[in-house]
Structures are given as structure tokens and as C-alpha cells.
């Protein structure tokens, strides 16, 4: 059958799924299902409009309808919308969460392609980072999203890289501390700190305390555009640089270079362009942040302008590579 470009561009199904996630329809219906009237009452929506939505979700295979009881229930596919689903994708679809809200800015992609400026700021009146700073609920959902993203990869990152060489690590922009906690678990001689904005730093301190790591791990509130805690053996930037354009990425790398011990390292962990990063996520980074995925050569070039030289590259997780940089020798 000939592929239809119109079918590829259809917005009805993706938006219906996102609204279902936002309303919690899979949770409200449960495994036994519920009528449209009951679901409308529990979600504060219009019963006729919700019926229209549910009928389309039935067509899409996300819900099933039992004509005898008039109940709609989530299929195995629809069960993925539940908050407790193992795949944990709901934060990426719920339009009241940081991830789902950001995805809606794709509606303004034309402006990004025309001007190069992020669509997110055009749509919401402030950039992504200012938005989640102003809304604690969005900040919490963003940290949860990052935790979901790294739930499998954080232990791999900890095990597949020789962190034991670095007695003291600073995880720059390390969120709620998931990656650093895994590194410390795998390498008992290592100590570390997370540096991030205050709400995330507070969450990281809580994680370390709950994991029994408080004697080896700390959290410092701050920005990676400001001076960093000095003298650490390694500064880690995990999924940070692709959120920023080249000028801001250089500023972040320069702060790490300024803070590092003379023989210290800057470890950049990123999906690489054409090597783990899809074209879709590259487009998202541009649309949302004005950022981009980069190749090893492009990251090496950015680091070189900050006095850093590439030492080694190491695959550390599916779709992610660690680039270890050291202080570049003085010319001559």
C-alpha cells in the first residue's frame, strides 16, 4: 500500500493520546473500564466531547469499548499511559508536565526554522529554563523525566567508565543526583557533589541521604554559568551541552576548565549526532532550547576553544558516549 504523507502528518491521534495522558483516563478507567459519563464526571470534562475522544482512541487501539456495558477500558497499549506503567512514558505525554508541555511547542516549529530561535520561548513567553524555575511543579516533573531517562543508563554509565581514577567528582547540572549516586555505589573510594539549581540540589541531597551516601556525596545550589567548586578531579556534564547553542556550551566548558585541578578531567556524556542521537531529538533540541546534538569532532572543537583536549571516547550506555577532556598543553 502506498504510504500517505497525510497520515504521517495527522495530529488527531498524537494529541488524543496526550490529552488522555493528561486527564489520567487510563487510571480512571482501570482494568474493568468505565463509561464515558463516569470518566467525564471524574475528570471534569464534557461527556459528549470525551466520548468523541474515547471513540477515536478505540479506533487507534489505545482503548477498547464494550457495547454491552458501555464501558471504555485501556488496552495493553493504552495501559502504557498509566503513571505506574513500567515504561514510565506518562511524563513525556502529560501536557501539564515539563516534557509534554515542551512537545506542544512543535506547533510553532515554522518560527524556529525561519529565525533559528527556540519555539518554546515564542509559545510560552519565556525560555524553558525560566519556565521550570518559575513553576515548581514543572521543575519536579523535569527531574522525574530525567530520572526516567537515566533509570537504566545511570548504572551502565557508572560501571562502564573508570570513575575510580577520580577521588572527587562534581556532577555539573546533575539534577537530583541519580547518575552521581550510581557512580558512588559502583566506586566506593569516590566522593562527589552535584551542582544544580536549588530545587534540584535539595532533591539530590535527599536522594543521597536516603541511599546512605550522605558521608560521600553532597549537593551545592548554583548555576554552571557561574564559578564552580574548585579543585575536583573530574567535572561531569551529562546530557547538558546539547541543551545549549555553541556560545553557551563554551561558557559551560570554560567554567569546568577554570575549576578543574591541574591534572583534572572534564567528562562530557552525550548522545552523539549520527551515533545515538536521532534526527527527531536533534530537531527537538533546536525547537525547545536552541541547542543541538553534536559529533565528536564538533564537541572536541568546542572544548579546544576552552583549553581542553580530547583524551579518549568511551561508549557508556546505549546511545551515549563519554568524551574525556584534559587540560590542553600550552602551545610552544
Catalytic residues: 242
What is the rounded distance in angstroms from the CA atom of residue 255 to the CA atom of residue 102?
28
Q: How crowded is residue 226: how many other Cβ atoms within 10 Å of its Cβ?
A: 8
What is the rounded CA–CA span in Å between residue 332 and residue 330?
6
CA–CA dist 299, 323 (Å, integer):
9
Amino acid at each position: 500500500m502506498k504510504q500517505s504523507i497525510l497520515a504521517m502528518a495527522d495530529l488527531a491521534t498524537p494529541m488524543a493520546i496526550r490529552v488522555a495522558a493528561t486527564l489520567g483516563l487510563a487510571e480512571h478507567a482501570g482494568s474493568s473500564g468505565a463509561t464515558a459519563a463516569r470518566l467525564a464526571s471524574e475528570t471534569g470534562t464534557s461527556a459528549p466531547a470525551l466520548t468523541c475522544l474515547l471513540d477515536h482512541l478505540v479506533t487507534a487501539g489505545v482503548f477498547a469499548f464494550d457495547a454491552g456495558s458501555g464501558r471504555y477500558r485501556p488496552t495493553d497499549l493504552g495501559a502504557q499511559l498509566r503513571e505506574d506503567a513500567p515504561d514510565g512514558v506518562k511524563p513525556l505525554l502529560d501536557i501539564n508536565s515539563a516534557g509534554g508541555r515542551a512537545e506542544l511547542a512543535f506547533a510553532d516549529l515554522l518560527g524556529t526554522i525561519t529565525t533559528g530561535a527556540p519555539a518554546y520561548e515564542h509559545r510560552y513567553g519565556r525560555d524553558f529554563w525560566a519556565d521550570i524555575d518559575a513553576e515548581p511543579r514543572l521543575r519536579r516533573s523535569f527531574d522525574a523525566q530525567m530520572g526516567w531517562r537515566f533509570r537504566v543508563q545511570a548504572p551502565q554509565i557508572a560501571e562502564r567508565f573508570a570513575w575510580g581514577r577520580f577521588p572527587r567528582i562534581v556532577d555539573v547540572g546533575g539534577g537530583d543526583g541519580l547518575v552521581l549516586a550510581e557512580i558512588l555505589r559502583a566506586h566506593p573510594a569516590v566522593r562527589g557533589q552535584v551542582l544544580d539549581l536549588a530545587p534540584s540540589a535539595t532533591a539530590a541531597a535527599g536522594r543521597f541521604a536516603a541511599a546512605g551516601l550522605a558521608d560521600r556525596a553532597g549537593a551545592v545550589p548554583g548555576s554552571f554559568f557561574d564559578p564552580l567548586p574548585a579543585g575536583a578531579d573530574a567535572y561531569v556534564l551529562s546530557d547538558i551541552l546539547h541543551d545549549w547553542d555553541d556560545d553557551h556550551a563554551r561558557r559551560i566548558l570554560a567554567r569546568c576548565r577554570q575549576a578543574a585541578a591541574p591534572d583534572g578531567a572534564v567528562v562530557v556524556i552525550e548522545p552523539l549526532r549520527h551515533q545515538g542521537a536521532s534526527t527527531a531529538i536533534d530537531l527537538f533540541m533546536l525547537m525547545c532550547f536552541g541547542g543541538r546534538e553534536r559529533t565528536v569532532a564538533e564537541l572536541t572543537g568546542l572544548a579546544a576553544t576552552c583549553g581542553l583536549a580530547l583524551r579518549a571516547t568511551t561508549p557508556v550506555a546505549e546511545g551515549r558516549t563519554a568524551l574525556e577532556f584534559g587540560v590542553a598543553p600550552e602551545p610552544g
